[in-house]
């Protein structure tokens, strides 16, 4: 994988970050990058494991996927992960490989589209855990309410026996079985939310987030 300048900056400052030696601005820059880069989050997890276990570098081995998930769950709450709204036209979104999860006929979104079409404000988030791949796609409406679509895959195919439960900060709860390609939750507003994904009655993925005009903040 080709490293970006942000990745190189993170790796250069990783030790200082773990020891809390960075300035507030540097820490904010690192954490903003971590919120968008899965590879660097995995590097952080491995480094955190070495740092806490006080292992000799000569005995270092890459953390397993299970260890990575376990350590990341312990430290993720310490990292502010904010995904900001991004603007793109429908034809640009249709080129994204994940877009077909939410639009079975991506090309239909581009028919008759022109450069004058308003850009779509959106956020795409994915996560892998407990054998499931969860994909979440947020889009803003003209009224600034938000539509959230959720797709859940298992071994590259739509997962079966999935139930999604979304609880809002005011206690309102919506629950539905995943019967189609994706589930849709409309008219979301600025608030805290908790999305729970269960498979055959067993909880598999929990996603707590705050929705705002800036974007989606995890945790």
pTM of the model: 0.62
**Residue 92: inside a domain, yes or no?**
no
Which residue would you say has higher pLDDT here, 83 or 197? 197
Q: What is the pLDDT of residues 162-219, one digit of tens each?
A: 999 999 998 999 999 998 889 999 999 999 999 999 999 998 888 889 898 888 887 6
- Same domain flag for 68 and 152: no
- Same domain flag for 65 and 129: no
* Distance of alpha carbon 192 from alpha carbon 182, whole angstroms: 22
- Same domain flag for 72 and 137: no
Q: What is the domain count for the chain?
A: 2
Residues 6+ apart with CB under 8 A from 57: 50
Question: DSSP strand E in the chain: where?
Answer: 82-84, 86-88, 120-129, 132-140, 146-154, 157-158, 162-168, 173-177, 183-188, 191-199, 202-211, 215-218
Range of the domain at 154: 82-86+120-218
**Residue 59: inside a domain, yes or no?**
yes
* Distance of alpha carbon 60 from alpha carbon 158, whole angstroms: 37
**Residue 188: inside a domain, yes or no?**
yes
Q: Which of 95, 141, 148, 123 is nearest to 217 (CA)?
A: 123
**Residue 106: inside a domain, yes or no?**
no
Last residue of a domain, one of 21, 54, 78: 78
């Amino acid at each position: 994988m080709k490293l970006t300048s942000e990745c190189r900056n993170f790796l250069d400052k990783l030790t200082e970050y773990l020891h809390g030696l960075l300035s507030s601005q540097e820490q904010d820059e690192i954490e903003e990058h971590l919120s968008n880069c899965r590879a660097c989050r995995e590097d952080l997890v491995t480094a955190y494991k070495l740092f806490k276990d006080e292992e000799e570098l000569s005995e270092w081995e890459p953390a397993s996927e299970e260890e990575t998930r376990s350590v990341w769950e312990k430290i993720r709450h310490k990292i502010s992960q904010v995904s900001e709204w991004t603007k793109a036209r429908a034809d640009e979104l249709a080129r994204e490989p994940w877009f077909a999860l939410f639009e079975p006929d991506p090309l239909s979104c581009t028919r008759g589209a022109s450069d004058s079409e308003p850009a779509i404000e959106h956020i795409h988030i994915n996560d892998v855990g407990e054998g499931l791949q969860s994909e979440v796609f947020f889009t803003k409406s003209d009224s600034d309410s938000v539509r959230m679509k959720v797709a859940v895959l298992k071994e590259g195919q739509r997962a079966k026996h999935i139930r999604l439960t979304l609880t809002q900060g005011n206690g309102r709860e919506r629950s539905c079985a995943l019967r189609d390609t994706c589930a849709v939750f409309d008219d979301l507003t600025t608030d805290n939310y908790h999305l729970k994904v269960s498979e055959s009655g067993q909880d598999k993925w929990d996603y707590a987030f705050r929705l705002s005009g800036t974007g989606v903040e995890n945790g």
